[in-house]
Structure 1
Amino acid sequence: MRQTVFAAPAERGELDRMRRAHAAAAKRFWVSASGPEVWGWQGRTLGRRAGDCRLRTVCAGVGKAGGRLWEGTATADTHVPRSVPRPRLRGVPDWTSPGVAYRAELTEYVSGQPVTSGTPALDQDIALPDSWWSELKSAFGTLAAVPTDRESVRQNDLHRANLTRAPLVLLDWENGGMVPAGYDLGLLHAYSPAAPVTAARIRRAFGHALDTDAGRTGELIALGQLLQACFRGVRPHLAPLVARQAEYLTGTPRPHALTGPDSLEEPMARPRVDVVVLTMNDRPVEEAAAQATLLAQSGVDVRVVVVGNGCKPEVVPPGALTVCLPENIGIPGGRNAGADALHEAGDPADWLYFLDNDAAFPRPDVLARLVAVAERHPEAAWVQPRLTGPDDVTTPRRWVPRLRAANPGRPGRVTSMTEGVVLIRRDAFDEVGGWEGSLFLYHEGSDLAWRLYAAGWSGWYAADIRMHHPLTTPARHALYHRLAARNRIWIAHRNLPAPLIPLYLGTWTVITLARAVRGGGLPQTLRGMREGWATRRTQTRRPMNRRTVYRLTAAGRPPVI
């Protein structure tokens, strides 16, 4: 049975008793309470404005007084540095009447407007200036230093109804106390699932804390308490979204409905993923093994298309669509054909997954976890898993989608992709026109990533989610040296502002020639460079603007290398 927990006491006697106690507290402080009544948890607290102050009274049975609800404001006033913007405490008297203990707190009144009014949860995204986020980050940096390595004094009821717009003030410390690191930020993030852009901003600002073991533990505690509150009738609409976040953090699939005598949600449709597999019938054993791991994926509904690039596919999973291309039109063109076939089949999924026919899923929850990451990063057009060899450990440098590749296990924002194992939003893919088919092979991922950034998107590297692939080298393909060199010039002409083209091509000419001298293929490389320069104007030129150059640079890879 659901109940309203932030309301005045239902019994008239309890209501009158709390009002008399509040009036008595006002007399103690020589103030006059005139603002509207604000009731707290199960009618145990009552607050009102009193001139330039806020007066709050809390009650408990004699012998039961204490705890965060009782001590939180005083604890914060004692332990939290003054640099953290919050209301100042002016007095805390205690008294008792027969069977009941009372505490009154007089704090300064803050006139700033809360980020949200009447509810801690965001039902839609809200714009806040960068300065506000900087102030919040600074405040939590200060709080993180308040004591002990396992617990710290925190706000503990952190949500946007307890945060003001600029200038930032952290309100309502009545529930402050010693909690696990990460709890407060986890609670702030937990109240944001219906506002994905804002949730992503929290993740960007505080990922350094949320993505630690302590941060994940704190967030799970916050999510568990929030789910418990949902079952009690407090913001029950958040339950399925909170459960999904808990599923992501634990790796444990949630039930289709939160069960109980008064279930909070109907069974939810699972995420749908359209998977494109390209084949030339050249590795049937590997294809069959890879498709078996695809069909074992759980937690998502998968629809598959197998594209025969110049052939009729021979290894096709049950129920899959097939596309038979009369000739080999290249990898990007073949992938586009698969994506188009899925769209034409009707009801395209929100997600496209492009899968090499010899790449395997090491776990049955890979796609579900990738979708969960994408939902946590709505600014990201693509999510890239970590690609390893079959040993689940070895990751060649070229498979790490960033310049600093020494630690392939570090997640974060990226500007490139490994094309054969990548999840892409269907709407973003369609917005920029998909893969560039004229490239045929090599660097189509860089081209697509640049165009997605130019359209306002970004990319995310989910380093804790693995895919397996044979440890091969691209130089095994006869066309590698020529097409790689040619396509470097083509994608620069297609995407870069004129001043950056010589910088980009100069850098890559030195790198490519050095590699060719050491590893072979120099004649083919020179041929590709000549071909690329001579035919560059066959490519449609849409240079990125300065903003895109800045965003790529800020993400760790300026478009000159």
Structure 2
Amino acid sequence: MTTAHRLAAAALGVTASGAAAWGWGGRTLGRRVTTAEGRAAWLRLLSAPVERASGKLWEGTTSASQALPEALRRPRLLAVHDWTAGLLAYRAELTSYLTDPICSPDPILRAPVELPDTWWTGLRTGLATIASTPTDRIAVRQVWIDRSVPEFTGMEPPQIDHWTAAHGDLHWANLFGPRFAVLDFEGWGLAPASYDAVVLHTYSLLVPDVAERVRSELEDFINSPQGRAAELVVLTEILQTISRGDNRELQVPVQRRLAALREQ
């Protein structure tokens, strides 16, 4: 991956100048780079077996660049470079560089985060903008809900009647502050309405004050029948990841939220 990243930088005429940022399971590698004009940018490399180099995650950044409104603050896609080497395929995505820091180095928020009121306004506006974007991409499927909700929660699966576009992975490591912006749209697509709001709330549960602020700011998204259905789906997803050894810190607060949903 490091060699392939150097090849991608050479092909796109940029020079790597930042520390390596590895994605989940080493599937992606990103670094800050400098363009020939001296501007900062970000070069993200994806790899996959040739036969799997297509579909939702592979094409997410390019499709989001084409579909999402310009008003949504996010890194802008500048160039894409694809190639294969043996049994592996590579995609390099060059995007603009945002100077704001990310809100958390980890998807799960572990410490309080101080954000201005303008950030929360940007979050509400951003979620509404994403939700109103037309798409035929799928982030969550009803067939998965029907199978997985009973398996991991013992509850009846909700039948979703309102699907909207969602970021699909709206945790704190994908958000910038103090100026609101969002990154990593590789998994975006249709999901139960209010899905993104509930994902952010769930990843906030270890910091109760922030979790309560999320619920308060996104009350219209979360505190509704649609929001409760979306939360059951998201809690199911988290419980599935816990069963695989990930997100174990969320086990207790997720079970508490699940108990609250049962009561409701």
TM-score normalized by structure 1?
A: 0.40
CA contact (8 A) 1:80 1:153 kept: no
Partner in structure 1 of residue 119 of structure 2: 132
- With 221-230 and 193-202 compared, the bigger mean Cα shift is at 221-230
2:77 pairs with 1:89: yes
Q: Supply the distance in 1 between the matched residues of 2:115 and 2:230 (Cα, whole angstroms).
A: 25
Question: Residues 68 and 243 from structure 1, CA distance in 2 versus in 1: closer, same or farther, beyond 3 angstroms?
Answer: farther
Superimposed CA distance per residue, residues 184-203 of structure 1 (whole angstroms, 9 cap, x where no aligned partner): 11110101112112111111
1:27 to 10, 13, 20: 10
Question: Gaps spanning 5+ residues in structure 2: where?
Answer: 35-39, 136-160
CA contact (8 A) 1:184 1:222 kept: no
Partner in structure 2 of residue 145 of structure 1: 132
1:165 to 151, 157, 177: 177
Q: Supply the distance in 1 between the matched residues of 2:217 and 2:69 (Cα, whole angstroms).
A: 22
Q: Supply the distance in 2 between the matched residues of 1:93 and 1:150 (Cα, whole angstroms).
A: 36
2:98 pairs with 1:110: yes
Q: Supply the distance in 1 between the matched residues of 2:186 and 2:32 (Cα, whole angstroms).
A: 16
Deviation at 1:84?
A: 0.8
Q: Supply the distance in 2 between the matched residues of 1:189 and 1:113 (Cα, whole angstroms).
A: 20
Q: Supply the distance in 2 between the matched residues of 1:23 and 1:151 (Cα, whole angstroms).
A: 41
2:30 to 29, 35, 47: 47
Q: Supply the distance in 2 between the matched residues of 1:36 and 1:161 (Cα, whole angstroms).
A: 16
1:208 to 209, 220, 224: 220
> Letter of the aligned partner of 1:236 in structure 2?
R
CA contact (8 A) 1:54 1:107 kept: yes
Superimposed CA distance per residue, residues 17-71 of structure 1 (whole angstroms, 9 cap, x where no aligned partner): x122211111121001121111112211111111211111111111211233212
Q: Supply the distance in 1 between the matched residues of 2:83 and 2:166 (Cα, whole angstroms).
A: 27
Superimposed CA distance per residue, residues 439-496 of structure 1 (whole angstroms, 9 cap, x where no aligned partner): xxxxxxxxxxxxxxxxxxxxxxxxx6xxxxxxxxxxxxxxxxxxxxxxxxxxxxxxxx
2:63 to 70, 75, 79: 75
Partner in structure 1 of residue 247 of structure 2: 235
Mapping 1:291-330, distance limit 5 Å? none
2:86 pairs with 1:98: yes
CA contact (8 A) 1:68 1:174 kept: yes
Query: Which portions of structure 1, spanning 4 or more consecutive aligned residues, are displaced by more than 4 angstroms?
Result: none
CA contact (8 A) 1:75 1:177 kept: no
Partner in structure 1 of residue 154 of structure 2: none
Q: Supply the distance in 2 between the matched residues of 1:166 and 1:98 (Cα, whole angstroms).
A: 43
Question: Gaps spanning 5+ residues in structure 1: where?
Answer: 1-17, 252-368, 370-463, 465-561
Partner in structure 1 of residue 145 of structure 2: none
Q: Supply the distance in 2 between the matched residues of 1:43 and 1:77 (Cα, whole angstroms).
A: 24
Helix, strand or coil at the partner of 1:142: helix
2:259 pairs with 1:247: yes
Helix, strand or coil at the partner of 1:93: strand
Partner in structure 2 of residue 321 of structure 1: none
Partner in structure 2 of residue 217 of structure 1: 229
CA contact (8 A) 2:132 2:165 kept: no
> Letter of the aligned partner of 1:121 in structure 2?
I
Mapping 1:356-505, distance limit 5 Å? 369=263
Partner in structure 2 of residue 57 of structure 1: 45
Helix, strand or coil at the partner of 1:47: strand
TM-score normalized by structure 2?
A: 0.82
Q: Supply the distance in 1 between the matched residues of 2:82 and 2:244 (Cα, whole angstroms).
A: 31
- With 217-226 and 235-244 compared, the bigger mean Cα shift is at 217-226
CA contact (8 A) 2:109 2:207 kept: yes
Partner in structure 2 of residue 180 of structure 1: 192
What's the % identity of the aligned pairs? 41
User: Between Structure 1 and Structure 2, how many residues are aligned?
Assistant: 234
Q: Supply the distance in 2 between the matched residues of 1:234 and 1:192 (Cα, whole angstroms).
A: 16
**Greater RCO (Cα-Cα under 8 Å, separation 6 or more):** 2
CA contact (8 A) 1:155 1:184 kept: yes
> Letter of the aligned partner of 2:73 in structure 1?
P
2:186 pairs with 1:198: no
CA contact (8 A) 2:101 2:176 kept: yes
Q: Supply the distance in 2 between the matched residues of 1:215 and 1:29 (Cα, whole angstroms).
A: 43
CA contact (8 A) 1:186 1:220 kept: no
